Structure formats: structure tokens, C-alpha cells
Amino acid sequence: MCGQQFNRSGTLCGRCRDGYYPLVYSSDMRCVPCPDGEKNWYKYTLAAFLPLTIFYFLIMFFRINVSSSQFYAFVHFSQVVTMPAIARAIITSTRFRPLLQKGVRVMGNIYGIWNMDFFRLSNYDICLGTDTLQTLSLDVVVGVYPLLLMMLSYVLIRLYDRNYRVLIYIWKPFKMIFSLFCKNWEIKTSLIDAFATFFLLSNVKLISVSFDLLMPVKVYQLNSTGHLSYSWRLFYDATLQYFGERHYKYAILAIVILTLDVLLPLMLLLLYPFTWFQKFLNLFPLRWYVLHTFMDSFHGCYKDGTEPGTRDCRWFASMFLVIHISFFTLGGATLGSVFFVFNAIIEIVAALLLVSIQPFKPQLNYYSDVHVKFHLLLAILCTSFLGALEAELGRKPALTVTLYTSMAIVGILPLLYVCFVVLHWLCSHRKFAVEKLVAWRHGYDIIE
């Protein structure tokens, strides 16, 4: 069955058979013939890094900071619905409904932008001749790439501040364009906003690939004496012994990523609001103003306890990171329908916390309503998907169609919300943009 139907071999069909390799952009690690894999690296480079580079500059240009805005609710929704466990389950369950699966793939590619997966659900025929572990590890590079762009941008800004003439002449026309369309646009502020945004996106991406590299599966064997024994194997390639000779290097890489990208940022988000921790940082002769500005990108929208009758709610900034960790932990621990039950419970608990505590500042209190609605949409999506699976197994076609329809509606509503927000933003800035355009035509000096 492994070879004929899935082009796989070995324990639990864990490895592609000889001459076959996993597709880089595939939700199910599908194995295909790959005689010229080494010639496809340019395709992968263009598909993976060119859209990401453009996305990076768009984030900087429009100063999109999702870490402390209502837009983060949409980003959280996008990251959850495109996480591997959910995307794989939905794609697999709709394989006998071509029209529905096509719609799922289209929406998945749109939402996948915020998970830095631009073509994951497109099943583009790009194979590189890499094995399963190597293919999974490519996402580490994708997750780190925006952070490298940040470092490069910071170095260029420092050189610009030191009046390097080449950079000044190169940057001048871009500065005119940015100032034309963006009011009070400033490169350093945009860089910090972009860094906060890509920190969240890269964080979830690296958590995802780390859990993929560490996800175990228990394989049972019946020995010659009639006793049942088991061994731990890697979920994505059960032919590999867990922490065995071929796996331990990737496992160590995943543990290091989780330590640096999850535990340290989580501790920083939790401890930074305390005065004693900030005093401790000031003991070191470093330029902490960048860290202060960066942390304010996460904590700025929450109550800080300085106003009468309020309490410090900045710990909510770390709650969403804990939710993401919980999702991937549950995905690795359950590997079944129970995963969706726990996800729905977590989303409902998060919504109840937002309603009862109201952590956002008074002028931003509507953020709570937006976040609650998105959490409830995710809970509805998980329960509808479980209900659709049960109805399909119970041969209840009418109920199955109803539940899949509700999933489609839940998938479309966030996109409509974002379109409304963008249109509102464009309308509110249209008058200012027209005034600047007229002024620029008469001479850029009058608007500097």
C-alpha cells in the first residue's frame, strides 16, 4: 500500500521510496519523482524568499505593527488555521470534495501569508532531492530570514546616520516617496514596528518547525516471544529512531530554537513590566532605548496600572505566545480529533478572559470585542470541523454539508473584516494623500 498509493516505504510509510523525494510546498509531504532536484533550488529560492522580501518592505512602508493592534486578532486567526496540524487535517478531510478543497487551498494561501507560507497549500511541483528532515528544516531558514533583513536594515541605518554619501543619495528618492504617502513616516520607528511584527511571525514559524522536528510517535512491535514492545520514532519519518544517529542533530537544533525563540522572549515579556527588572537592566551600560521601544510595541495597548481603578494587564502580551505554544504541544501530543477539542476550549477560555478582565486601555477597549469575536470564530471552526467528520462517518450528508458551509463562512468573515478595515484606512487617508501629491507636484521643498 505504501509504495503503490503514497510512493513511500519503511515503517509507517515513513520514507519516500528510492528515486522519490518530498515536495517542498505540500501540506502532506507528498513524495514525487525528482531526477533533477538540484536544478530546482532557484525555483525554491524565488518562491520562498522573493515574496517574503516584498512582504517585509510592505510592512515597513505601511508601518504595520500587529503586536499591539486590533489587527493582531486577524493574524492570530491566520496562524492558527494554517498551522500544519489543522491545515493537514482539513485538506485530507476534503479530498473527496474537489470544489471545497480548492476553496480551502485558496483561503489557506491567503491566511498563510501571515505564517510566512505563501505557497504551502498550492502543491507546487518543487522538489529538491532532500529527505524529510532536510525538507522540514528549510522552514528554519524561512523563519530566520526576516530577522536577518532586520539586522541588515539596522546596519544600513547606522551607516546612514554617519553620513555615508552613497547611502544618502540612494535613500533620498525613497524618502520622498515614503513621505509622500505616509504621514510622519520615520525609518527608525518603521523598523521597530516591522521588527515587532516579524518577531511574532518568525516566532510562530520557528515554533512550528521545531515541533515538527521533535514530534515523536510510538511504534509497537510483536516480537518472537509473543510480547508487545515499542520504540519511539520520529512522526514525519518513522524509519528514524527518535534522537538516533540521523535525528539528534535536528533535535538539538529544534531545542536551541525553542529556548532562544520561545523561553527567552516569554520570560522577557513577563518580567519587563516589573520595575525591579528594568532597574536590573539599567545596571548594564547598554543602549536599552531600542528594547524599551520594542517592548512598548507589545505592551503599549494594555493597561499599565497607572490610571486610577486599573491594574497592570501587560502580561496579556505573553498570553498569546503561550496559546501558540499550547497549540503546537497539543498537536504533537494528541495527533487526533482531541486536538481540535482542546483548541476550541483554549479559544473559549481566552475569550472569557478578555471579556472578564478587559485588559486594553479605555480608548482601545474595542480591541477586546475584536479579539473575542476572532477567538469565538476559531472555536466555531474547530467544533464545526469535528462535527463534519462525525456526520460524514455517520453518513449524514445534509448535516455534513451544513457544517462544511459554516466552516466556509467562518473562513470568509475575517477576510471581509480586513477588507473593511483597509478600505476605512484608505478613505481616512485619501484627503491627506491628495494634498501631499498636489504639494509634491509644485515642489517637494514646501512639504518638508
Per-residue pLDDT reduced to its tens digit, 50-103? 999 999 888 877 777 777 667 888 888 888 888 776 777 777 777 777 887 788
* Alpha carbon distance 448, 438 (integer Å): 14
| Most distant pair of Cα atoms in the chain: their distance | 91
Q: Show the domain range for 396.
A: 2-447
Quote the DSSP letter at residue 166: H
User: Per-residue pLDDT averaged across 437-446, rounded?
Assistant: 43
* Alpha carbon distance 234, 238 (integer Å): 5
User: Per-residue pLDDT averaged across 13-18, rounded?
Assistant: 84
* Alpha carbon distance 38, 45 (integer Å): 12
Contact 317/302 with Cβ under 8 angstroms?
A: yes
* Alpha carbon distance 21, 34 (integer Å): 6
Contact 118/231 with Cβ under 8 angstroms?
A: no
- Tell how far CA 210 is from the center of its chain: 13
DSSP-H helix ranges across 1-70: 2-6, 41-61
Residue with C-alpha cell 520570560? Answer: 267
What per-residue confidence (pLDDT) applies to 447? 38
What per-residue confidence (pLDDT) applies to 252? 93
What per-residue confidence (pLDDT) applies to 441? 43
Contact 209/139 with Cβ under 8 angstroms?
A: yes
Phi, psi of 309 (to 5 degrees): 80, 10
- 25 closest CA partner among 46, 1, 4: 46
User: Per-residue pLDDT averaged across 346-353, rounded?
Assistant: 88
Contact 375/327 with Cβ under 8 angstroms?
A: no
Handedness of CA 287, 140, 233, 249 (dihedral sign): negative
What per-residue confidence (pLDDT) applies to 188? 65
CA-based angle 210:213:219, to the nearest 5? 140
Contact 139/25 with Cβ under 8 angstroms?
A: no
Tally of structural domains, the chain: 1
